[in-house]
Amino acid sequence: MTWIFGYGSIIWKPDFDYLEKKPALLRGFKRRFWQGSTDHRGVPGSPGRVVTLLPEPREQLWGMAFRLAPEVYEPVLAALDYREKNGYERHFLQVEFDDGRSVSALTYMATAENPHFLGAAPVDEMALQILRSVGPSGSNLEYLERLYQALSELGFEDAHLSELWSSVERVRSRQ
Ligand code: BEZ
């Protein structure tokens, strides 16, 4: 088993070597900017907002699956464990390619029980938080923008992201 499924920054910044990458569909989950980031896109006391996955039987989302060479799999996972240490845990999920084939892929998920989980908020509130937050990896706005752009370039519509992006543009135009 050497597939990794990315649905957030791993899509546009995998930072590891891979043999191939393929767009992949995850059914039964939704992607939401509901996880707090105090180590990448925010700081303790002023967290940014980054994506996590929540189970939702009627929803689905597109991300990118990366196939790794067996010999790099464990070192890559060790590096990702460190990079995603702020509340994320490893999970194996079944993802589907557009040819109908499906594989089990490792993904990082931050559940509602982790201490950095922020949960839902009104969209303009989330947009303001994203506009104001900055952390060691850069601005929270850059994170949202790169994910939004990457998914748009792949031709994937994500209603939550589009709503958040529109709100960011609205709030910015008023500033
Ligand atoms: C991802 O791109 O899949 C991802 C990145 C950071 C944390 C969790 C998931």
Q: Is 105 helix (H, G, I), strand (E, B) or coil?
A: strand
Closest residue CA from atom 8 of ligand 1: 108
Q: Is 150 in the pocket of ligand 1 (CB under 6 A)?
A: no
Distances (CA, A) of 129 to 89, 93, 135, 164, 171: 24, 30, 12, 11, 11
Q: Is 66 in the pocket of ligand 1 (CB under 6 A)?
A: no
Considering only the C-alpha atoms of the chain, give the largest distance between any 2 of them, rounded to a whole number of Å: 51
Q: Which two tokens stand for residue 131?
A: 């506009």
Please report the pLDDT score of residue 40 as a whole number.
92
Please report the pLDDT score of residue 83 as a whole number.
73
| Active-site residue (options: 71, 84, 96, 157) | 84
Q: 158 and 32 in contact (C-beta within 8 Å)?
A: no
Relative to the CA of 63, which ligand 1 atom is closest?
3
**pTM to 2 decimals?**
0.94
Residues of the chain with pLDDT under 70: none
Nearest to 40 by CA among 4, 16, 15: 15
96 flagged as catalytic: no
Q: Could you read off the pLDDT of 1-17 as tens digits, one per residue?
A: 799 999 999 999 998 99
CB neighbours (10 Å) of residue 114? 15
Q: Is 108 in the pocket of ligand 1 (CB under 6 A)?
A: yes
Q: 160 and 31 in contact (C-beta within 8 Å)?
A: yes
Q: Which two tokens stand for residue 71?
A: 């010999």
Closest residue CA from atom 3 of ligand 1: 6
Nearest to 89 by CA among 119, 47, 125, 117: 117
Cα–Cα dist 147/35, whole Å: 15
Q: Is 99 helix (H, G, I), strand (E, B) or coil?
A: coil
Q: Is 87 in the pocket of ligand 1 (CB under 6 A)?
A: no
Nearest to 81 by CA among 105, 106, 104, 115: 106
Please report the pLDDT score of residue 81 as a whole number.
80
